[in-house]
Homo-oligomer: A and B are copies of this chain.
């Protein structure tokens, strides 16, 4: 009965238009697989875009929020998990995800990739982040997959999840 959860991690501020487009399409593709989208939940950047994409495709979205209430949540979050613990919630994001996709890059996203690898999760890095890819591939010992676009990411997700 438990739903498959794909965590999509990406910056709130500083995301490029390309990252936002990738996130929106990825949200829709994850939803069409019947999977739940989980993200950091804020109404900004990649978090907002991936939830909107998932909702447009009829999916279910979980936002794991840093603040003390659901005030800053994306309107496209169905289930707001309110942690009140700032970026310590990044650890929850990755532990709750059957697979982690990084879409865009920033310090918060980098922490989530690192925490995911520490927890033994597979990570798909979506987008053009050569320095991140070199670094995390060296850290990740085969658990880091690179995808150029959302379709490649979803194909990799299906393969990694065996579904």
Answer yes or no: A58 CB below 8 A from chain B CBs: no
Interface size on A, residues (CB 8 A): 52
Known contacts A69-B95, A135-B135; A81/B107 CB under 8 A: no
Q: Which of B75, B88, B110, B140 contacts A85 (CB 8 A)?
A: B88
Contact A5 B55 (CB under 8 A): no
Q: Could you tell me the distance between the alpha carbons of A69 and B62 in the complex, rounded to whole angstroms?
A: 17
Give min CB distance, A79 to chain B, whole Å. 6
Beyond A110-B114, A110-B139: 17 further Cβ-contacts under 8 Å? A1-B75, A1-B78, A2-B73, A2-B75, A2-B77, A2-B79, A68-B95, A80-B96, A81-B81, A81-B96, A83-B85, A83-B88, A85-B86, A90-B115, A111-B114, A132-B135, A134-B135
